[in-house]
């Protein structure tokens, strides 16, 4: 019998080699494997007749292989595998690309379950592309899909989780007191883990999620309460004067009442002996940077240094330029990132240590051991969800009980903020600057593609720009839209007379910078991208965003992506294109373009 804390390499089917792959996913033990929850589920319970399947619909068929499985070599030495399936309501060609295992796995006249998307081939005929399949007769179910890594596929993780559950049956120690389990009618930990991976039905999946969420939030709250109690005994050197009104006079615009209120709340913290530990939450475009600048101004005017950390070099550069425009030559503002030359890094670090530098803006490069501040009084972290706790703490530890301000554009209900950020005071910028228009957000399914392309052409013909965001960089075994392939297809078929750009995380930094420079300048009219544009991209002329496979993004990601449009005076749109079988969005308007 294996234990929860048994190392993963001792699980049957793992071994030393696979254990190393698991470490990349943060899985080191049997317990961490069982706590590695599926990112989504495929419904293999609901069967569709072949005759009823619609184009671009993801479905599950119970069908028989009626043709010999054949292989054809195509361009680049790749293999195209073909066969035909039937369920007596109709028949459907099935195609696999470069899958060498299919021919020996699919057997003619045998019945299987097939899960995949029905599409059109170049002749307009229906076909089933690269479906997942398994022998019929096996229990139909909600099938877990896991985030994979390299050769460690979702299917292999699924099998190993199944093995782990069998091996630990009756030996999973409960972590919650029985009185809480009884009071809130929770599943046991063992039942919850079994049903989060292999739910008996949708109700048991809901109960499993409820139990595990309760446990996580309880542990989080206990930890935050412990942290908050320790913060209460710490003291810091307070600022003596509030300089915010002096700062406002330097601005070329009038701050909103919400901005002034949040600045006042933060400066009240600065003027007390208790270190500030505050979250500023405000929608994209609500003016968080100006709020941060006002707080920095008061801090530096009172003789302290300030540090402003951003998750990407693009965003750090943007904040650096903004602060330089606010402060001019009054303060020394320096930029420190990974791409700063060795010579300049040495000079900047010397100026930080001597106190000559008042404000340093940068990325993770600021938390290196050789970055020493003379008198750090304020640390600001932008897009705080992109940093780990250790990274934020490493910067804060460069001063003596420094004041900490974290900023987020992700909308967080106040009750939830109290749960997630129980150790922080929360300020909300709930007012947009004058002239900003709300972003119109819609959801559509695949049937709207041609209308979306027409709307994008109309946008670009009006002199504005747009984005199309894809979840993947390159083609994979899934049916998601890959950015590279989609870019080539759009360029050749839909937008021949327009200038398109491609941007993704696998490009070299110089290549990414060149693409973004062309987009900033307006040369690129439509940018095909992955989530690399999630933060730090500020193009006021971009008014249209289409997010492909929106069901595969988290709500915080979708909110950040949507924030890339609506940054200027023009009316802007965000269109979430989804697969109807994998997502059900409630209380959202259907778009008609």
Cross-strand pairs, 278: 405, 425
| Alpha carbon of residue 112 to chain centroid | 35
CATH number of the domain that residue 123 is part of: 2.40.50.140
pLDDT tens readout for residues 402-444? 899 988 876 655 555 555 555 578 888 888 777 677 789 998 8
pLDDT reported for residue 583 = 39
How far apart CA 403 and CA 242 sit, in angstroms, is 15
pLDDT above 50: residue 16: yes
Domain for residue 155, yes or no?
Answer: no
What would the mean pLDDT of 176-180 be, rounded to a whole number?
A: 94
Cβ(530)–Cβ(504) below 8 Å? yes
Question: 418 and 467: one domain?
Answer: no
Strands (E), 330-483: 333-336, 359-362, 376-381, 403-408, 425-429, 440-444, 465-469
Alpha-carbon separation of residue 567 from 163, 416, 454, 470, 582 (angstroms):
51, 27, 23, 21, 31
pLDDT above 90: residue 50: yes
pLDDT above 70: residue 535: no
Domain for residue 32, yes or no?
Answer: no
Domain for residue 319, yes or no?
Answer: yes
How far apart CA 574 and CA 584 sit, in angstroms, is 18
- Lowest mean pLDDT segment, chosen from 282-286, 440-444, 486-490: 282-286
What would the mean pLDDT of 468-483 be, rounded to a whole number?
A: 70
Domain for residue 370, yes or no?
Answer: yes
Question: 281 and 386: one domain?
Answer: yes
pLDDT above 60: residue 477: no
pLDDT tens readout for residues 307-337? 999 887 878 888 898 999 999 889 999 999 8
- 68's CB contacts (< 8 A; 6+ apart) are 83, 108
pLDDT above 70: residue 138: no
Domain for residue 50, yes or no?
Answer: yes
DSSP conformational letter for 254: P
**What sign for the dihedral angle of Cα 543, 482, 471, 582?**
positive
Question: 299 and 415: one domain?
Answer: yes
pLDDT above 70: residue 224: no
pLDDT reported for residue 373 = 93
Q: Pick the residue with more confidence: 247 or 538?
A: 247
Could you list the residue range(s) of the whole structural domain that residue 199 is in?
Answer: 175-231
Tell me the range of 111-120, 220-229, 480-489, 511-520 where mean pLDDT is highest. Answer: 111-120
281 burial (CB, 10 Å; 0-12 / 13-18 / 19+) is buried
pLDDT above 70: residue 592: no
Domain for residue 23, yes or no?
Answer: no
pLDDT reported for residue 163 = 94
Question: 220 and 280: one domain?
Answer: no
pLDDT reported for residue 590 = 44
Cross-strand pairs, 332: none
Domain boundary among 398, 429, 460: 429
pLDDT reported for residue 223 = 73
- The number of folded domains in the chain is 4
What would the mean pLDDT of 132-147 be, rounded to a whole number?
A: 84
Strand 526-529 versus strand 500-503 pairing type: parallel
pLDDT reported for residue 79 = 86
Question: 450 and 404: one domain?
Answer: no
Domain boundary among 379, 402, 429: 429
CATH number of the domain that residue 322 is part of: 3.40.50.300
pLDDT reported for residue 376 = 93
pLDDT reported for residue 36 = 94
Domain for residue 475, yes or no?
Answer: yes
Strands (E), 35-105: 40-43, 58-65, 70-73, 79-86, 91-97
Share of the chain above pLDDT 70, in %: 89
How far apart CA 440 and CA 293 sit, in angstroms, is 30
Domain for residue 516, yes or no?
Answer: yes
Neighbours of 426 (CB within 10 A): 15
* pLDDT level of residue 528 (50, 70, 90 thresholds): very high
Strand 70-73 versus strand 79-86 pairing type: antiparallel
Q: Pick the residue with more confidence: 524 or 386?
A: 524
pLDDT reported for residue 438 = 78
* pLDDT level of residue 539 (50, 70, 90 thresholds): confident
Q: Pick the residue with more confidence: 452 or 473?
A: 452
Domain boundary among 91, 117, 140: 140
Question: 278 and 129: one domain?
Answer: no
Question: 404 and 475: one domain?
Answer: no
pLDDT reported for residue 587 = 39
Question: 248 and 316: one domain?
Answer: yes
Average pLDDT of the residues of the chain:
85
pLDDT reported for residue 281 = 86
Question: 398 and 249: one domain?
Answer: yes
Question: 272 and 387: one domain?
Answer: yes
Question: 269 and 362: one domain?
Answer: yes
Q: Pick the residue with more confidence: 179 or 445?
A: 179
> Among the residues of 232-341, which ranges form H helices?
244-248, 257-270, 288-301, 313-327
pLDDT reported for residue 318 = 82
pLDDT above 50: residue 382: yes
| Residue with token string 């479905």 | 59
pLDDT reported for residue 24 = 86
Complete edge-to-edge strand list for the sheet that includes strand 376-381: 333-336, 359-362, 305-309, 376-381, 403-408, 277-282, 425-429
CA dihedral 542, 544, 548, 554 (to 10 degrees): 70
pLDDT reported for residue 593 = 40
pLDDT reported for residue 584 = 40
* pLDDT level of residue 578 (50, 70, 90 thresholds): confident
pLDDT above 80: residue 72: yes
pLDDT reported for residue 538 = 75
How far apart CA 537 and CA 567 sit, in angstroms, is 10
Alpha-carbon separation of residue 564 from 82, 432, 466 (angstroms):
42, 15, 10
Question: 280 and 333: one domain?
Answer: yes
């Amino acid at each position: 019998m294996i234990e929860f804390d048994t190392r993963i390499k001792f699980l049957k089917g793992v071994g030393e080699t696979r254990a190393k792959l698991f470490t990349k996913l943060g899985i080191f033990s049997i317990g961490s494997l069982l706590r590695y929850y599926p990112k989504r589920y495929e419904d293999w319970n609901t069967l569709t007749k072949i005759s009823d399947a619609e184009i671009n619909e993801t479905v599950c068929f119970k069908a028989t292989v009626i043709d010999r499985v054949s292989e054809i070599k195509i361009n680049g030495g790749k293999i195209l595998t073909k066969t035909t399936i039937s369920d007596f309501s109709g028949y459907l060609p099935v195609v696999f690309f470069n899958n060498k295992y299919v021919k020996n796995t699919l057997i003619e006249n045998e019945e299987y379950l097939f899960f995949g998307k029905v599409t059109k081939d170049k002749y307009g005929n229906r076909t089933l592309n690269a479906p997942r399949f398994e022998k019929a007769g096996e229990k139909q179910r909600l099938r877990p899909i896991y985030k994979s890594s390299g050769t460690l596929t979702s299917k292999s993780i699924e099998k190993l989780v199944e093995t782990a559950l069998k091996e630990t049956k009756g030996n999973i120690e409960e972590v919650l007191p029985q009185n809480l389990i009884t009071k809130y009618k929770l599943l046991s930990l063992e039942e919850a883990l079994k049903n989060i991976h292999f739910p008996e039905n949708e109700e048991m999946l809901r109960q499993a999620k409820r139990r595990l969420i309760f446990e996580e939030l309880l542990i989080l709250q206990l930890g935050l309460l412990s942290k908050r109690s320790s913060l209460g005994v710490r003291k810091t050197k307070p600022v003596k004067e509030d300089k915010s009104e002096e700062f406002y006079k330097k601005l070329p615009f009038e701050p909103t009442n919400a901005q002034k209120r949040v600045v006042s709340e933060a400066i009240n913290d600065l003027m007390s002996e208790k270190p500030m530990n505050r979250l500023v939450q405000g929608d994209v475009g609500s003016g968080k940077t100006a709020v941060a600048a006002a707080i920095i101004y008061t801090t530096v005017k009172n003789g302290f240094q300030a540090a402003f950390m951003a998750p990407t070099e693009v965003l750090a550069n943007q904040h650096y330029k903004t602060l330089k425009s606010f402060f001019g030559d009054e303060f020394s503002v320096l930029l420190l990132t990974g791409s700063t030359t060795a010579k300049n890094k040495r000079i900047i670090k010397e100026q930080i240590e001597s106190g000559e530098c008042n404000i340093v803006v940068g990325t993770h490069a600021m938390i290196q051991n050789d970055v020493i501040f003379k008198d750090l009084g304020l640390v600001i972290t932008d897009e705080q969800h992109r940093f780990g706790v250790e990274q934020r703490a490493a910067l804060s530890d460069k001063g003596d009980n420094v004041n900490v301000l974290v900023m987020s554009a992700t909308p967080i209900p106040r009750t939830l903020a109290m749960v997630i950020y129980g150790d922080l005071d929360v300020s909300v910028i709930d007012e947009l600057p004058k002239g900003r228009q709300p972003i119109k957000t819609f959801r559509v399914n695949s049937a709207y593609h041609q209308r979306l392309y027409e709307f994008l052409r109309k946008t670009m013909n009006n002199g504005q720009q747009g984005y199309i965001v894809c979840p993947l960089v390159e083609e994979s075994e899934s049916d998601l839209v890959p950015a590279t392939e989609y870019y080539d297809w759009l360029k050749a078929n839909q937008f021949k007379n327009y200038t398109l750009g491609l941007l993704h995380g696998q490009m070299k930094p110089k290549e990414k910078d060149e693409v973004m420079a062309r987009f900033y300048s307006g040369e690129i009219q439509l940018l095909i991208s992955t989530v690399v544009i999630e933060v730090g991209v500020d193009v006021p002329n971009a008014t249209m965003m289409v997010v492909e496979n929106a069901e595969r993004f988290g709500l915080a990601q979708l909110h950040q992506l949507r924030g890339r449009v609506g940054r200027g005076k023009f009316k802007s749109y965000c269109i979430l294109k989804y697969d109807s079988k994998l997502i059900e969005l409630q209380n959202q308007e259907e778009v008609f373009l």
